Structures are given as C-alpha cells and as structure tokens.
Structure 1
Amino acid sequence: MNGGLWARRSIALYLLAWLMLGLLLAGLVHAGSGAGPGASLLFALPLTLCYAIGCGFSAYYLCRAYPLAQRSLRAVLPVFAFSALTAALLWCAAGSAWAALCRLVLGEGQALAVTRPFVAVMLGIGVLLYWMTAVAHYLALEFERARRAETRELESRLLAQDAELRMLRTQIDPHFLFNSLNSISALTAIDAGRARDMSLLLAGFFRQTLGLEAHRKVLLTEEVQLAERFLAIEQVRFGPRLAFEHRLGEGAGGCLLPPMILQPLVENAVKHGIGQLLEGGTITVVAERAGSLLRIRVENDTDPDDAGTRTAGSGIGLVNVRQRLAAAYGREGSVHWARDDNKFRVDLVLPAETEEKG
C-alpha cells in the first residue's frame, strides 16, 4: 500500500473516532447541564477536535521518544502521566474560555454553565483520552515495525532464493560448454567444416542465453526453441542419428518456467541415451496443462542392454533440475525419472503460471 494513502486513511480514521467522542461528550453535556442540543454541539465538537490534534501530536512524539522496546515502564509511565495531566488541564482551561465565548454569542440562557464538578469530569475524561491516544500510537508504531520487519524478511528470502537460483543456473553453462568443446575437439580431426559449423552454432546459442536471468521465467515455447538450438549443435556431430520431436498441448506453450530448465535434460538425453546407440534415436518433449499444473515429459531412446544408465539420477543435470524446481516452487514443483525397456523419461510437474498472472 502506498505510504501517503496509508497516512491519509489513518488520519481520517483518527479524526472520525474523535468526532464520535465529541458527539458523545455533547450528549453528556446536554444531559448533565441542561444546555440545548445546539449549544452542546457547539461547545463539545470544536473543543474535542482541537484536543484530538493536540493529543495526537503530543502523544505521537512522546511515543517516538520513549519506545517501549527500549524504555522500561517505570521510565515511561511518569512521563505520560505528567503529559496527560498537563494536556487535560489545558483542555479544561480552553473549555472554560470557549464556554465563556459561547455565552457571549448565545446568551446566558442557552449557553453551558461551567461548574467545578463539570471541570473535574472534563479533567478525568481528558486524562483518559490522552492515555488512549498514546496506546493507539504505540499500537500503530508496533504494527509499522512488524510490517517493516516482515518486508525485510521477505526481501531477504527473495534475495537468498535468487542467489540460489543463480548458483544453480551457473552450474549448467560450464557443464554444457565442456561437453560441447569436447565434441568440437573430436570433430576437428574428422571434419573441420562441421567443427566450424558447430562452433558458430555454439556461439549463437550462448549469445541467446546471455540475456536470460535466473530469477525471471520464460515461456515454454521459448524453452523448446532453446532445446532445438542445442540439438542443432549436437546434430552437427550426430547427423541423422539424432531426431527431435515436441508436442505442446493447448495452453501449455504459454506457461512460464525457469530458464534453461529443459536444456540439461535434453543434454543428458543426448549424452547418455542417443550417444550410446549406433542407430541413434529420438528425443521427445511433451507438455500438457492440467488445470493449475503443467506437466512436462522429456523422453529418449536408450540402450536396453545398459539397464544401469541414469536410473539413480546422480547426474548433474537431473540434480540441478530438481534443486532449481525446489528453489523456485518449493513442494509445488517436482521431478521424477524412470526407465522402461528402451526408453528413459523424466517427468516435471510445476504450477501452470502465465504472463497474465505475473
């Protein structure tokens, strides 16, 4: 909430509460002294609103000067007792002067007659109202302090989460670059032209990913495009042995997810799946939106005779994806992987966020 708007609303509520107290005081004056309704309102309302302003400023600055978290009640109570008594005495003096002025305007028959019992009642009411104002200010200051502490805590959590996401994201780039440079090195001795093409594609891929920030999300369609760019790099080495398919269900392509969350899964599919098959295979990305959830599956062909490959999920790609989902979504995001005969699949489940939701 805007600070200026909050202050204006607080002042309006404060004056409204004092206006109601003024009406109550006018009713007491009318019932106790026999003054007419008009004279009672003329006496009580201006006097109460002036006291509201005086009490408000006085109690506010005293509450700031004597915070309860830093001062003991033994030090605070005498200050507020003296201030309340002083303010109430000034209020009674102002009331007597205002009553005298009202008598001059309205005449002796309709104006309020200020007596000692009435002044004593005003004195007691003035002290109580001052203390109530001080308590209200202390509550408001405590609420403000708690809100600032909550805001700082939230900012700290967001910064820590952002730092964790950045750290996890930086694990991907060196890992991918290391594998790509190894492939280029291997191609250099076999086909210098293909090695050059792969280098250019790699430069273009990193140029596109440099603008991605760890704390911002991208569309699933953009993630799939990044996966296609990556596979275009790998296809220089594998040729027709490497195929890629993707199917995005209705509404799935417009969902948001952490950047480069699919790339390590596709990279693992190439390295541990297609790369181990002489005849090659297909990498498939399927995404569907099911209500408030987005389900993504990355599936690839693998060697049926190598049953131990990637079943433990100990590779950096799978671990990284699991940690990034946990950091971004908590328990709402999950990743599971399984092997079925000659297929290895990784299933991601995360909230279906869209640009409209922020």
Structure 2
Amino acid sequence: MAPDLAQSRDFLTISLRRPAKDHLIDMLIAKPPITSQPSWYFWSLYLLGWLVFAAAFAGMHIMAGTHSIVSALSFGFLVAVPAGLLGILVIQLTYRLAEAQFRPLGLVFIHTLTMVLYPALWILVMWSTRMMTALAVAGKAAFFMPPAHAVHWHYLAGVLIYLLLVALCHAMMSADARKRTEIEAEVRTTLAKFDPHFLFNTLNAIRHLLRTDTDLAEDAHRQLAILLRETVKADADRSHSLKRELELCRIYLQLQKMRLGNRLTVKEQIDDDTLDCEIPALILQPLIENAIGHGIEPMEAGGTIEIAANRLGMQLEVRLTNEMPPSEQESGHGAASFGLEYVKTRLRQFDPSANWRFEAAEGRYLAVIMLPAWGADD
C-alpha cells in the first residue's frame, strides 16, 4: 500500500472516533497554552535594547565629563547587565502568572511585591559588582556607599523598567491571543461551510473502500483533499469561472454518490456562453448540500438534482432544482440553514446588484441566483 494511502487510513481511523469537524479543527488549529513564550526575535530586540540603554547611560556620563570613555562604557554595562538579567526573570514571571490564571487581586499583590524587589535587587547587584570589580583591580577591598540621590534615581528607574517590561509582556500576550482567535474563527467559519455529517460519512466510506478497493479509495481521498483545499482558500473576496465552480460541484456530488448510490441523480443543462462567467468561489456547494440534506436524502427512493445556467442579457442565471418530501415542504427545506444564509452573504459581498430566490412549490425546491455576466478574467 502506498505510504500516503496508509497515512490516510490512519487519519481516517482517528477521525471516526470523534465528529469530523472537531477533529479537523484540532488538526488545523494548534492547541497552544494560554500564553506562548517570547520568540528569539523578541529576545534579540531585548538584548539590543539593553545595549542601547548601556550606550546612552555611558554617553550621558561622557558628556557630563564625570568619566572617561572607557570608564563610562564600563559603568554603563555595569548598570545595564544586572537590570537586563533581572528583567528576564520579570518576563518569565509575567508569563507564568498569566498561565496560572491568578485572580486580579492576586496578580496586583504579586506584581506590587516584585516591583518593590526588582529595583532593590538591581541596586544591590550593581553596587556589589562595582565593589568586587574594585577588589579585583586594586587588590584590596573597597566599600562604596552610593549617594542618596543616586539610590533614589536608580530605584525610580527600576520601578519604571519593571512596569515597562510587564506592560510589554501583556501587550504581546494580547496580540497573540487576538491572532489565535482570528485564526480559530477563520478555520471554524471555513469548516462550517461543510456539513459535518458529510465529512463523517465520506471519511467512513473511504475507510470502507480501503479494505475493498484501494484505487477507488485513493481517488476519493484525492477528491476530498481538493475540495477541502478549495474551501480553505474560498474567502469572501475570491471568485473563479463557472466552469471551475461546476468542476468542484461534480467532485462534491461524486463523493455524495459514494454513500447515496443510485438514490442521487444529477442532470446538468449548462449553456456554453456561461462557462467563463465569474462567480463567487464555492457558492453552489451549500445549495447542493441543502438539496441533498433536505430533499434527496430524506426520500427513500432518492431523487434528482438539476443544475442549469444561462445568460439573460447581461445577467448570469444559475438554477438548482431538486425534489423534496412533504415533510420538508412544511418545514421550509432548510430555509433558515447556515448554508443559505452563507450564500446570501457571499452574494452581497460579491456584487450589490446580485439577486437570489429560494422557493418551494409542487414538491420541488428551486434556488436561483442572478449575477452580472462578467468574464472571470475581466
């Protein structure tokens, strides 16, 4: 058995243990922790920021004439290195607290405590390092008592640095959360275009074919992959020719026939001059899905779906007709379904002049969409 087919079998076996849509959502959206750690790009900028801080600090002392260039640069790094290293701990603490989901009062208490400790530790490490450096250079111990104004300014600077680091962390976490939410919403919206029962039944049919006809199973797997790929790409602004739309509809119908067999019959009456007309991508698939789910499938003998397209002057008319049981005539043939609402929304976005008509009469359901007859390459 081919490796890709074997992998497909494993995927199908796993998929059938849970609803197909849930499995695909889990597959397409990584389940990250509540917060993701900063990237290497962030840490590179973090290092660069402290180098700039050290250079600026040294520059102020050089301009004031209190230190030589070498002494000022040494002092600048002596100030920046402890602050930067302690800052790493602040960043890690902020992310850990977010992951632990503390209550707001607990977060305020912990951050207040660490905000008090951060500048104190910074000053302690900074001046201790300076004394040890003097000991190493001069060979004797030297005790430095920093001036009171220096302690005050360094402490205030430490508080501001702490607040800046915490604010930066929360800004990054908020941006990551928004991005994950947007991705998840996009994937869920995309997968909502498919009936989860269709996905489940198709996967189940392919799984059965893997035991009886691997060539047919591989072909069905390839068709499903094409359909899913096109669905993921079919955003609100995407369009293609009616010819391409019909090709994708035939793939969808072929997959449906795998489980419905002779209960599903399809007839097409497509005028040649309509094939190059532009149409929203996958606009017909929800209509066909609606026709099968509310028309063909509930009937024991099945039924026929008729797809027709013709030009009326400068307008493209696409008609989809199907038989339906009496129960669906009373319930409205899925009139309030997601699929029909999705079609209406896509048509409005595609062109304000687009029109549609969905109606049931005499045991049949008719769906009509009217679009400007543009060429797909216009």
TM-score (norm 1): 0.53
* Counterpart position of 2:168: 140
In structure 2, the gaps of 5 or more residues are 1-34, 202-215, 232-243, 297-305, 322-330, 360-365
For 1:1-358, what aligned pairs fall within 5 Å after superposition? Answer: 7-32=39-64, 34-41=66-73, 43-64=74-95, 69=104, 71-98=106-133, 116=145, 119-154=147-182, 156-158=184-186, 160-161=188-189, 164-167=192-195, 170=198, 211-212=223-224, 216-217=229-230, 219-223=244-248, 225=250, 244-247=269-272, 248=274, 250=276, 252=278, 256-257=281-282, 260-261=285-286, 263=288, 284-286=308-310, 297-299=317-319, 314-316=332-334, 321-325=339-343, 329=346, 332=349, 336-337=356-357, 346-347=368-369
Distance 2:265 2:60 in 1: 95
Distance 2:160 2:194 in 1: 51
Instruction: Specify whether residues 251 and 143 from structure 1 end up closer, same or farther in structure 2 by C-alpha distance, changes over 3 A only.
Output: farther
Q: How far 1:126 sits from its partner (Å)?
A: 3.6
Q: Which deviates more, 126-135 or 255-264?
A: 255-264
Instruction: Specify whether residues 148 and 287 from structure 1 end up closer, same or farther in structure 2 by C-alpha distance, changes over 3 A only.
Output: farther
Q: Tell me the alpha carbon deviations over residues 224-261 of structure 1, each in whole angstroms, 9 at most, x when there is no partner.
A: 6569989xx99x999xxx872233454748x7315734
Q: How far 1:158 sits from its partner (Å)?
A: 4.3
Q: How far 1:318 sits from its partner (Å)?
A: 10
Helix, strand or coil at the partner of 1:217: helix
Retained in 2: the 8 A contact 1:168–1:323? no
Distance 2:265 2:186 in 1: 41
Q: How far 1:11 sits from its partner (Å)?
A: 1.7
In structure 1, the gaps of 5 or more residues are 105-112, 174-203, 272-281, 302-312
Helix, strand or coil at the partner of 1:166: coil
Q: Which has the larger radius of gyration?
A: 1
Distance 1:163 1:228 in 2: 18
Instruction: Specify whether residues 349 and 84 from structure 1 end up closer, same or farther in structure 2 by C-alpha distance, changes over 3 A only.
Output: farther
Instruction: Name the amino acid aligned to 2:71.
Output: A
Instruction: Specify whether residues 345 and 244 from structure 1 end up closer, same or farther in structure 2 by C-alpha distance, changes over 3 A only.
Output: same
Distance 1:70 1:160 in 2: 35
Retained in 1: the 8 A contact 2:53–2:80? no
Helix, strand or coil at the partner of 2:47: helix
Instruction: Name the amino acid aligned to 1:50.
Output: V
Instruction: Specify whether residues 211 and 346 from structure 1 end up closer, same or farther in structure 2 by C-alpha distance, changes over 3 A only.
Output: same
Q: How far 1:322 sits from its partner (Å)?
A: 1.9
Retained in 2: the 8 A contact 1:166–1:215? no
Distance 2:95 2:196 in 1: 45
Distance 1:228 1:88 in 2: 73
TM-score (norm 2): 0.50
Q: Give the count of matched residue pairs.
A: 272
Distance 1:129 1:53 in 2: 13
Higher relative contact order (CA 8 A, sep 6+): 2
* Counterpart position of 1:181: none
Q: How far 1:56 sits from its partner (Å)?
A: 1.9
* Counterpart position of 2:326: none
Q: How far 1:348 sits from its partner (Å)?
A: 5.4
Retained in 2: the 8 A contact 1:212–1:259? no
Retained in 1: the 8 A contact 2:36–2:173? no
Distance 1:130 1:211 in 2: 61
Instruction: Name the amino acid aligned to 1:48.
Output: V
Instruction: Specify whether residues 287 and 142 from structure 1 end up closer, same or farther in structure 2 by C-alpha distance, changes over 3 A only.
Output: farther
Q: Which deviates more, 91-100 or 211-220?
A: 211-220
Q: Which deviates more, 313-322 or 122-131?
A: 313-322
Instruction: Name the amino acid aligned to 1:86.
Output: L
Q: How far 1:222 sits from its partner (Å)?
A: 0.7
Retained in 1: the 8 A contact 2:58–2:72? yes
Distance 2:111 2:37 in 1: 31
Distance 1:132 1:47 in 2: 19
Q: Tell me the alpha carbon deviations over residues 86-141 of structure 1, each in whole angstroms, 9 at most, x when there is no partner.
A: 2212211212443565679xxxxxxxx9975x654543344234323322332233
Q: How far 1:84 sits from its partner (Å)?
A: 2.0
Retained in 1: the 8 A contact 2:318–2:369? yes
Overall identity of the aligned pairs, in % = 11
Instruction: Specify whether residues 212 and 258 from structure 1 end up closer, same or farther in structure 2 by C-alpha distance, changes over 3 A only.
Output: farther
